[in-house]
A and B are shown apart, each in its own frame.
Chain A
């Protein structure tokens, strides 16, 4: 039994052991019984129904699946769900609060940093990790930090501007 469908398909014979994992995801502890080979990206999408995390390749190249793992950007398609047991994960759904967007989200909208939106969640989370560490990055630093995330639509220039917009806003908020 691969994933999480026990209730749906109870008739399925299986000799693969499942393991229980508990992940703190967007501030909330959630558990699931998973087959050891299940990818973290699939647990997030199908198990926890957080479909903002996308998968855009089979080779850990595109970065559409990027989440923050204990605050660091990782490609969730390159990690098994069982490896995340006991860790803290933030997905795009965790960026905004109920009432307010994160400045990075505002920046992407204001600077037209997205078109089809498929790369956007991964881009924003990578950008968040950058700004958490380096609140005032140069254009080159932003381009380098984002170089593990592919975008086919925008040509990156507006993504860079979006991150700069967010950095300005965060720094202004901190100054006030």
Chain B
């Protein structure tokens, strides 16, 4: 008889996490926990100014401090051709500044010393003479005539434009607008936000002169991409580079790019022939590493009186900081921004996008999102609500009317994506039912009579998760596939390695569940390893919710390869031909006599001890998976709020999330991802705020100024599910990690805007701090976050 899949920890089991066994004992192995013999410590001196020419750097006092081993400056890097490095989007970034500094917090010098305290002292002893230059802190200033040229290091760069790009059907969209009964408009700013994993970035570079091998332990979500980048920058051959990503204390996109600190620690180790550890402090992390968002969006929607959307026009100006360093795998300069409106049936759409350099840290990383999808979906859902309001239609009904219907899949979106599955209206219904939509609307009316402001916000969206396919997506020319390698030992226990890299997603638990599902080997019998480029198969890493869609698919496919070989072994053991062998979970049996069978463990044993003539020994294999399409999960998030008109404070009353991410491997972990994502959504809507003053000083450079929600502020969440399996994924799964962060913010903002409906306020930019809400309510006008700070003169 077949095994009970849940009992062996297969698909659908809320299996408790394997990795927790070390984390709850304090035995995780994060990069700062690693100590190598003779290890030195590196600290970085950062620029206090946002834009300035470097006139001179005097390091003599730093060298004089006992315990200092090396002081590195841009000049020294330049002598080794290492002052600049390529970014993941074909731009360049300064490792240590040579000519000028271009953002506050930019890396200027490094000290390597016997311990981190000494290195910090020595950084303070370095004297840099700066000549301040005029500063550009937002795209509006960047585009202004006569704006200071930030990237004067680049030949042929005569302005601050990174790219100018368009997609969609311009003429068709114009026609749609010509036929519109109503045109709805919206303009907003999605503010800069920092992913801020609790653990900062860091590395330990260990160059061994005797073997010429470089080992780097580092906080990276994509070890193999880093290996390729290090090979390029350090001009070392790939087989002499080993990148190890140990346990990561969160990532959220912040640990995808290549940072100067990594490169500097590598050079220092090569020069000193000792291991060099660099652990970034929190301020360094917040002011210099990958930001997300910072996009100015405006657009309009052509509408028919009955509520049908005829067309959409969008324009974005995105602030990329001083170096364009997003991981930018799509052919499109603004990532997947044009996935906007994918869940709606819209005949025509057109998008123009401009990217700009400013004197801010390199921005635009996909913070818990797929390459600008968050901004796209936020604009979409804010626009949809504004349009419903303009038409005087119920916001739920307006969505339902315009959704792509279940029977219309596969569906080509107005921007050209192919969505393949979903039950959008059903998800919305589940959400409305759960929140008690009709009752709430009545309550809201009642409350209004007594001067209380209640609001309800809906956000529904489908988003593209799981890049590639290889035809359209690559990073530095490397196609976006992923991989898994499975070795089944003689006892039937196994080790699985993948090219992904968990940062808290629980791969050690879930990957084993996929193998259990495919082979019937109990999940507890399978070890999962990731993050070491010397042992893991080549993969593109974990970000953009791509692990389950791509690496997870590879795990299923490699298991199937193993099963195919095990079938031959089973036939041999059962002394029948392969065609006469049937499979049920964990066991092959003879079709004509089902009680004659052998287990997968018997087959594993035979692979090493009793193989038929002509069959290669062993039971291991590797699969590389190139997905045919992205996966398209759908989500409906609904929030209810009460706004206090006296103070502008708003409280969340209820949050309902309905996610359709296809088949769930481990429901407990999926729900954990959704709650984490909703919390970041709430954070962005309510408090997370990094801005810059007119001089380019980062306001929000530590946790006293950059507010993250605690257990006290964070609302409770009610989760529901709908399951529409992904038609092309081997186990029917879709991505989920980022959905709530992507779709969530609009639910909260829409709820507050709904509470203010009738006051004439159309938009308040995030975060909806109480003073902004209060000002909007009392002045009856929009509160704009752009430009963040006006130059005072």
| Interface hits, A137-154 → B, CB 8 Å | 142-144, 146-154
What separation, in Å, do the CA atoms of A63 and B680 have in the docked complex? 18
Q: Specify which chain B residues have a CB less than 8 angstroms from the CB of A91 in the assembled complex.
A: 26
What separation, in Å, do the CA atoms of A144 and B711 have in the docked complex? 7
A53 touches B26 (CB 8 A): yes
A155 touches B67 (CB 8 A): no
- What's the nearest-Cβ distance from chain A to residue B112, in Å? 13
Task: State which of B15-23, B385-393, B491-499, B554-562 sits at the interface with chain A.
Answer: B15-23
A61 touches B704 (CB 8 A): yes
- What's the nearest-Cβ distance from chain B to residue A70, in Å? 20
Most chain A CB within a 10 A radius of its CB, from B67, B115, B247: B115
A115 touches B282 (CB 8 A): no
Q: Specify which chain B residues have a CB less than 8 angstroms from the CB of A151 in the assembled complex.
A: 198, 711
B30 touches A54 (CB 8 A): yes
- What's the nearest-Cβ distance from chain B to residue A64, in Å? 6
Asked if A20 is an interface residue, CB under 8 A from chain B, the answer is no
Asked if B577 is an interface residue, CB under 8 A from chain A, the answer is no
Residue of B nearest to A160 (CB): B711
B199 touches A118 (CB 8 A): yes
A12 touches B198 (CB 8 A): no
Q: Specify which chain B residues have a CB less than 8 angstroms from the CB of A3 in the assembled complex.
A: 115, 117
- What's the nearest-Cβ distance from chain B to residue A143, in Å? 4
Asked if B678 is an interface residue, CB under 8 A from chain A, the answer is yes
Interface string of A53-83 (1 = CB under 8 A from B): 1111111011010000000000000000000
A61 touches B24 (CB 8 A): no
- What's the nearest-Cβ distance from chain B to residue A83, in Å? 17
- What's the nearest-Cβ distance from chain B to residue A25, in Å? 13
B117 touches A37 (CB 8 A): yes
Asked if B505 is an interface residue, CB under 8 A from chain A, the answer is yes
What separation, in Å, do the CA atoms of A57 and B28 have in the docked complex? 18
A56 touches B249 (CB 8 A): yes
B24 touches A124 (CB 8 A): yes
A117 touches B19 (CB 8 A): yes
Most chain B CB within a 10 A radius of its CB, from A124, A142, A154: A154
Q: Specify which chain B residues have a CB less than 8 angstroms from the CB of A46 in the assembled complex.
A: 35
Contact A115 B504, CB 8 Å, known A51-B33, A52-B27: yes
What separation, in Å, do the CA atoms of A23 and B66 have in the docked complex? 29
Contact A13 B66, CB 8 Å, known A116-B249, A118-B249: yes
Q: Specify which chain A residues have a CB less than 8 angstroms from the CB of B582 in the assembled complex.
A: none
What separation, in Å, do the CA atoms of A87 and B18 have in the docked complex? 35
What separation, in Å, do the CA atoms of A62 and B707 have in the docked complex? 11
What separation, in Å, do the CA atoms of A176 and B257 have in the docked complex? 54
A147 touches B710 (CB 8 A): yes
Q: Specify which chain A residues have a CB less than 8 angstroms from the CB of B240 in the assembled complex.
A: none
| Interface hits, B446-466 → A, CB 8 Å | none
Asked if A109 is an interface residue, CB under 8 A from chain B, the answer is yes
- What's the nearest-Cβ distance from chain B to residue A48, in Å? 12
A110 touches B198 (CB 8 A): no
Interface string of A87-125 (1 = CB under 8 A from B): 000011101100001000100111010111111110010
Asked if B703 is an interface residue, CB under 8 A from chain A, the answer is yes
For B676, give its contact among A9, A37, A101, A155 (CB under 8 Å). A155
Q: Specify which chain B residues have a CB less than 8 angstroms from the CB of A108 in the assembled complex.
A: 20, 24
30 A-B pairs with CB atoms under 8 Å apart are: A2-B117, A2-B118, A9-B67, A13-B66, A14-B67, A35-B117, A37-B117, A38-B117, A54-B249, A56-B198, A56-B249, A57-B702, A58-B282, A59-B282, A92-B26, A93-B25, A95-B25, A110-B16, A112-B669, A114-B24, A115-B250, A115-B504, A116-B247, A118-B30, A119-B198, A147-B710, A151-B711, A152-B196, A152-B250, A160-B711
**4 further A-B pairs in the complex, CB-CB below 8 A; given A12-B66, A59-B702:** A52-B26, A124-B24, A146-B711, A147-B710
Chain B residues within CB distance 8 Å of chain A: 16-17, 19-28, 30, 32-33, 35, 38, 66-67, 114-115, 117-118, 196-200, 247-252, 281-283, 503-506, 668-669, 671-672, 675-680, 702-704, 708, 710-712, 714, 716-717
